[in-house]
Chain A
Amino acid sequence: LLTFLSSPVIVVHCSAWAIPDDMAKASVDGVKSTATAGFLAMKRGGSALDAVELSVRALEDNPTFDADHGAVLNTNGEVELDSIIMDGRTLAAGAVSSVKTISNPVSLARAVMEKTDHIMLTDRGANMFAESVGIPAVPTNTLVTECERTEREKAKNYAVEVKEGHDTVGAVAVDCSGNVACATSTGGIRNKMVGSGGYADNLSWAVSCTCHGESILKVTLARLFHVEQGKRAPEAVEVSLRYMGDRVRGGGAILVSRTGEWAAKFTTERMAWAAVEREVLWYGLNPKEEFKETLRQ
């Protein structure tokens, strides 16, 4: 299956939720700079897999987003992170769940994919593996912002889990060889107790999803898109999100196909997203927004 594209394509997202106005600019700036960096990496010959990993690392390191340095705390006051990365060429995948004290879970997920015979490691075993491949543990308090500590104190007064919260970050890409890849990373929802987030297949698309995790799981959102083969990318995403909305509740997703088609859609109030294709940077925050600028390098 050899396709050569004239331009790689990358799409990144963070947070399909009602992003407050005071976070809006930082969110949009974050996804724009990240998409730019991922695109340039592919232009220099990097693979789709490299591009999604480096993009999600950048999003993990950005404290505006939940995924890592802004991660929400679980009921024990710890940071627990989940991440997945998948290579559309071979369907190879790596994932970690409930990993603690790791700065960049997406890179740990990639190590699971490339250095073990397994796809997923969890909890203590995931942390031990990190140590064995020389990925350093970082103290929890470097992963927790002051803002989050305050929010958690407030949320403790409520027995019901808070519905808002920062969310998930992700990236999908197709490189010049026509290989697709996806990566998604999250700290989950606030006060949560001690699959579906992404899928990549060269035969169809690469997808990364966001919003209420449990709802995404119930409809295996990333895998739903498979059904829509033959539809154009934006329609495929809309149909799948509508299905999820009908059966459970709203969310967001980004998608790219091996032929370079892409889409970023959401049925929540907002989702910060950005895409780069042929030196054009696209981005949006509110429904129906699709701004564009020439890529600044």
Chain B
Amino acid sequence: MLPVLVVHGGAGFIPKERVQMSCAGVQAAVRGGYSKLQGQGSAMDAVVEAVTLLENDHHYNAGLGSVLNAKGEVEMDAIVMDGRYLASGAVSAVRKVANPVQLARLVMDKTSHLCLTGEGASQFARSMGVPEVPEESLITEYARMRWKKNLAADANPVECQMGKMGTVGAVAVDAEGNIACATSTGGMLNKMEGRVGDTACIGCGGYADNRVGAVSPTGEGEAIMKVTLARLILFHMEQGRSVEAAADEALAYMKDRVGGLGGVVVVDPQGEWSVRFSSLQMAWAAAQQQTLHYGLYTGEHFTQNIDDPY
């Protein structure tokens, strides 16, 4: 049942007034990515396209619309991974680029390294002709408002965080059976300067292996890192668990062992996929064999023909 693409827009709690746009955005992203797959594009092309569309959509915590760090600046993390050769590229704490997922792909394709950070990542972007954009162009009123609120002495940034604006990601298997993942985020609201979360860390914020599958997570970054969530789910799959059971077991472990909530999209080499989350909501959408699947709350699974209008 190939090809297949699954996309998420962040796990947590989405306020009512933002629900519709959060759902619309992931559906548009999955359509955009899926059309790459239908046009003989690779799994990597599809996940990068889907995540690019979400970075450009100001309703998500990635690219435009990213949360602000303690200083009011935007520092972004992103990763891509290609399951064929375990190739990967990531950027961490990168500033003033519109599409960190594309920069991460350049790290993979054009360097012998897997991750570039901060100033070094910006230097690399310049050398690749990636334009620097003014920081203001990435900041929304909503992000600035949330940042100001969290500067208050009694604010609890970790609690306020949970996916009101989400990390974005995608996993895909193309017609040739190649597997890829991509994840992108502005990180944690009011985080310390230079804070890097799970997204840029291979095995945590994403992992893809043609032999096993791919995962893109979202949720409490530090918790995801402590259990290396993406790799953990794929271990369970290597040991024979299904795409749902592997994800559920790993998410339950993360909650139990380190008290963190999150969500994942998972795919296996046969095109089996799952969307699981321990938070209240996760906006997601998937495309496979002319069917569009989507949902928001636990247990929701709506479908329609992909050619039908939104």
Contacts and interface: CB of A to CB of B under 8 A. Distances in A.
Nearest to A227: B235
Interface string B174-211: 00000000000000100111111100011110010000
Contact of A97 (B92, B192, B221, B235): B92
A278 interface: no
User: Interface of chain A, helix or strand or loop or mixed?
Assistant: mixed
Interface stretch (B96-104, B224-232, B292-300): B224-232
Contacts of A295: none
Given A214-B114, A218-B86, A119 B222 contact: yes
Given A123-B117, A123-B118, A196 B93 contact: no
A122 B194 contact: yes
Contacts of A193: 111, 113, 116, 120, 124
B193 A117 contact: no
A218 B194 contact: no
Contact of B231 (A120, A124, A223): A223
A126 interface: yes
Interface of A: 74, 80, 90-93, 97-98, 116-126, 128-129, 161, 192-196, 199, 213-214, 217-220, 223, 226-227, 247-248
Contact of B235 (A117, A217, A226): A226
Contact of B258 (A80, A91, A220): A91
B124 A194 contact: yes
Contacts of A220: 202-203, 207, 228, 231
Contacts of B114: 213-214, 217-218
B202 A129 contact: no
A126 B191 CA distance: 12
Nearest to A97: B117
A74 B258 CA distance: 36
Contact of A121 (B113, B120, B123, B192): B192
B118 to A, nearest CB: 3
Interface string B83-113: 0001110001100000000000000000111
A220 B90 CA distance: 14
Contacts of B235: 226-227
Smallest CB-CB A-B distances: 7 pairs: A125-B194, A123-B118, A194-B120, A125-B193, A220-B203, A218-B86, A91-B226
Kindly state the interface size class of chain B when it binds its partner. 35 or more
Contacts of A93: 225-226
Most chain B CB within 10 A, of A90, A120, A247, is at A120
A119 B203 CA distance: 15
Nearest to B202: A217
Given A226-B235, A227-B235, A196 B117 contact: no
Contacts of B120: 74, 80, 98, 123, 193-194
A242 B75 CA distance: 38
Given A92-B226, A93-B226, A194-B116, A116 B202 contact: no
Nearest to A212: B112
B238 interface: yes
B148 interface: no
B13 to A, nearest CB: 19
Contacts of B192: 116, 118, 121, 125, 129
Given A91-B227, A124-B118, A223 B194 contact: no
A18 B228 CA distance: 31
Contacts of B115: 97, 217
Contacts of A126: 194
10 contacts: A91-B227, A116-B192, A119-B226, A122-B117, A122-B118, A124-B119, A126-B194, A128-B193, A214-B113, A223-B203
A98 B200 CA distance: 14
A218 B202 contact: yes
